[in-house]
Amino acid sequence: MKARASIEPLLLALALVALALFPLLGAKFYLQLFAKIMIMAVFAMSLDLLVGYAGLVSFGHAAFYGIGAYMLWWLSPQYEAANFWLTLPAAMAAAALASLAIGLLVLRCSGIYFIMVTLAFAQMFFYFAAGSKFFGGSDGVYVYVKPVTGFLDLGDTAQFYYLALAAMAGTYLLLRGLIGTLFGRALLGIKSNEPRMRSLGFSTLGYKLAAFALAGAFAGLAGYLDAAQYGFVNPDLFGWRLSGMALMMVILGGMGTLYGPILGAFALVLLQDTLSDATKHWLLPLGIFIILAVLFLPRGLSGLIKRAEGKRG
């Protein structure tokens, strides 16, 4: 692992510079699209902490995305701007608390049961929001005024783009740091062989719960930014489609790498976007692409980088 210097940090730094310079030439439409992709990347990375590092395949991760989004609406005065620095931590904390509570229940299951139970919880949120007058029902609710940060104007496309970029880079660095801690090592051990971890003296439920809550918080961050970008929140943000999209980004990009889900988010959304422009039967080629990717890239797009490194070394 440490034997050979990796080219990954260099590639990531280059990608960061490219993304930072992008607003100089990108059209407004693409800035909006890329901001949306980077928000999805935050969401996918948070899921990768569960899937790729703790071995917990959640199919209900959108529950916490939705909570982050609805929190911004709920905390915003109707015709005035909310304070970004107060509402963002509150939204993340709410998502973390919800995942702590749900985690206590669902983390007793594993394998296929875990997938089904997480899906069931997210669908409960979906139907609750869709059926509740307070939360706007299936039509959703509007955040009329974007939150104020003090120095960034979130109504400005380029400035919002930089906020999304900062969120993505910050999430990556924080989660990367976390994986390198003793806690991160224990998570990898749990993914590899949980019964053995218990017999070595690790109370594995506590570790999984902490990871679940943390992943929930970052999903909440992504949901908050989504609501801030579009000013519109509806129950679909809790839906299984979104959970499934995030899972697909993680798997397509390569789980357990953190930067893989970023690649996955870009690949999936851009592909969806270009294909749906080209043909109305865009789901067919997209499906074929995903099947081929799973067949030939078992470690995802990030596996291509690893393969290139292998040849070089």
Partner 1 sequence: MAEPVLAARGLSKRFGGLAAVDGVSLALQAGRIHAVIGPNGAGKTTLVSLISGELEPSAGSVMFEDLEIAGFPPARIARLGIARSYQRVNIFTGFSAHENCRLAAQSRLGGGLRLLRPARAERDLDAAARHALRLVGLDPGGRATAGNLSHGEQRQLEIAMTLAISPKVLLLDEPLAGMGASESARMTKLIKSLAKDHAILLIEHDMDAVFSIADQLTVMVEGKVLETGKPGAIRKSRAVRKAYLGGPA
Q: Is 310 in the site for partner 1 (CB under 8 A)?
A: no
Does residue 175 belong to the site contacting partner 1 (CB under 8 A)?
no
With a CB cutoff of 8 Å and minimum separation 6, the contacts of 273 are 33
* Beta carbon of residue 134, minimum distance to partner 1 (angstroms, whole number): 38
Classify residue 108 by its DSSP letter.
T
Give the largest CA-CA distance in the chain.
60
Structure tokens at 74: 């709920």
The interface with partner 1 within residues 198-227 (CB under 8 A) comprises: 198-204, 206
**Residues 193-232, buried b or exposed e (16+ Cβ, 10 A)?**
ebeebeeeeeebeebbbbbbbbbbbbbbbbbbbbbbbebb
Per CB under 8 A, the list member of 180, 287, 298, 313 interacting with partner 1 is 180
Binds partner 1 (CB under 8 A): choice among 189, 244, 285, 303 = 189
Shortest Cβ distance from residue 185 to partner 1 (Å)? 5
3-state secondary structure of 256: coil
Distances (CA, A) of 18 to 15, 74, 118, 124, 248: 5, 36, 37, 41, 25
By the rule CB under 8 A, 171 interacts with partner 1: no
User: Which residue in 77, 150, 195, 310 binds partner 1 (CB under 8 A)?
Assistant: 195
**Of these, 151, 182, 310, 311, which contacts partner 1 (CB under 8 A)?**
182
Contact flag: residue 192 with partner 1 (CB under 8 A): yes
* Site for partner 1 contains 282 (CB under 8 A): no
Q: Length of the chain, please?
A: 313
Residue 103: CB minimum distance to partner 1, A: 16
* Residue 196 interacts with partner 1 (CB under 8 A): yes or no: yes
Tokens for 187, please give them: 């998570």
Q: Which residues bind partner 1 (CB under 8 A)?
A: 3, 177-178, 180-186, 188-189, 192-193, 195-204, 206
